Amino acid sequence: MLLFWSLVCIAGALGGVLTTLVTSDTVMLPRRVEDTTWQLGIIGNVIVGAAAAAASWGLYSPYSQASVLAIAPTTASPTVSALTMAFLTGIGGTKWLNSETQSDLWQATAAKAAATSVDSAKAAQVLTSSATAAFIDNPVD
């Protein structure tokens, strides 16, 4: 059964890697962008993807109804659909968490912008930037 859990976690981790590769605002290592906001980076996305896949597989896999204290081994095995679900859950879990981080950064950027004077060049730059770039590249004057 450990092999099955490992396969599911690997599928979820690959989903986390895919999310990182298709996201424009990617960092390798986790970093703090603001006092309360962290970017997970690829390492964090791999961990979140694996954890989300494991949780999903624990709920919906053939093993979901197996007794934890069973003496006899179960005959359930992972299916292609279960591993596919783990992969997609890894993508979805990391995408959701990254969206939450982006939302926090956009709120912080808006608060910075409200505290500064009107500058149409900065406004145009923020409009076309990623959340992290908009936050970091526009310090309060």
Neighbouring CB atoms inside 10 A of 12's CB total 33
* pLDDT of 18: 86
pLDDT 10s per residue in the chain (141 long)? 677 788 888 888 888 888 888 776 667 777 777 676 777 778 888 888 898 888 888 887 777 776 666 666 666 666 777 778 888 888 888 888 777 777 777 777 777 777 777 777 777 777 677 777 666 665 554
Cβ(106)–Cβ(131) below 8 Å: yes
* pLDDT of 20: 80
In angstroms, the CA 115 to CA 121 distance is 16
* pLDDT of 72: 61
CA distances from 9 to 84, 134, 139 (A): 11, 34, 40
* pLDDT of 83: 77
* pLDDT of 29: 77
* pLDDT of 71: 63
Cβ(85)–Cβ(52) below 8 Å: no
* pLDDT of 111: 74
Pairing type for strands 31-34 and 37-39 reads antiparallel
* pLDDT of 75: 64
CA distances from 62 to 15, 53, 75, 76, 82 (A): 21, 14, 9, 6, 8
Read off the DSSP letter of residue 74.
P
* pLDDT of 76: 63
In angstroms, the CA 106 to CA 119 distance is 18
* pLDDT of 22: 79
